[in-house]
Amino acid sequence: MPVKTGSSAAVELLVSDSDTAIAHRSGEVPVLATPRVIALCEQAAFTAVAPELEPGQTTVSMKVQIDHLAPSAIGQTVTAEATVEKIQGRRIMFTVSVHDDHGLIAVGRVTRVVVNIEDFLAKAGRSD
């Protein structure tokens, strides 16, 4: 596996109504939902290593640790960044951070595991 420590990616999101705690049913306020923050961190981590994987491989989430520190309003642009910190066999550990126009809104770690897509789907009881 050619994944290297230091590989990184960033993804952006313009916060809309569909990204709020209300829309995700995780709260009652119209600000960026924590589940959406986590999804952004996952997207950045996936994006950081996807080009380096062999054909037929992908990464799947194993562990997420996020501190959601500040709210982001509808209309703000948020950027999630993920950097490969450590590799242990098939496990890839990332540090992640999320910023908006006002500064840092979330930090944490994401662990993803490299899997063979076909084998993974077979374990899930699917073959498509």
What is the domain partition of the chain in residue ranges? Answer: 8-123
Q: Is the pLDDT of residue 1 over 70?
A: no
Confidence band, pLDDT 50/70/90 cuts, at residue 128: low
What's the CATH architecture for 8-123? Roll (3.10)
Contact indicator for 48, 83 with CB cutoff of 8 Å:
yes
Per residue in 82-126, pLDDT tens? 999 999 999 999 999 999 999 999 999 999 999 999 999 999 886
Contact indicator for 111, 38 with CB cutoff of 8 Å:
no
35/41 Cα distance (integer angstroms): 10
Contact indicator for 72, 100 with CB cutoff of 8 Å:
yes
> In angstroms, what CA-CA distances link 36 with 7, 43, 54, 64, 109?
23, 10, 28, 13, 15
Per residue in 37-48, pLDDT tens? 999 999 999 999
Q: Is the pLDDT of residue 56 over 60?
A: yes
pTM: 0.92
